[in-house]
Amino acid sequence: MRTYGFRGLFVAMAFALAGAPLSAQTQSATNASAARAARAADQALNAQYKAASARLSPASRLLLRDAQRSWIAFRDAQCKFETAGVQGGSAYPVVQATCLKALSQQRTRQLERIAACEEGDLACPR
């Protein structure tokens, strides 16, 4: 029995998270599928950012813009860190896209909470 160690497990998990079966797809098809999923998550994030921004005062809108720019820098640095083990490998695109998708989905949920704030909730930005 051949073992693949932690890196093999990480790559297999990335494929599973990307929704791609480990067999019956070429690497390029798997990469393309993961990239599409990451783009869809980014589009949902952008739509939710606009919805959250629309309910804010001009001053809070600027604060959200600055926070979002900082978050994007964090996301990119975090995914660079998380993919360091597969940098330059054939699995890098799917692992990268999976990271971007997951973090974008998390941020989308944060922005959903901002957009759904009830009037009078003191924890909500105005």
Structure tokens at 102: 């997951």
- What is the pLDDT at residue 113? 92
Place of tokens 């009037």: 119
Domains of the chain, residue spans? 5-112
Helix axes 5-17, 92-115, angle to 10 degrees: 50
- What is the pLDDT at residue 126? 82
8-41 pLDDT, tens digit per residue, is 545 555 555 555 555 557 999 999 999 999 999 9
CATH number of 5-112: 1.20.1270.180
Instruction: Look up the pTM and report it.
Output: 0.77
Distances (CA, A) of 111 to 20, 40, 46, 54, 82: 28, 16, 10, 12, 24
Confidence band for 125, pLDDT divided at 50, 70 and 90? confident
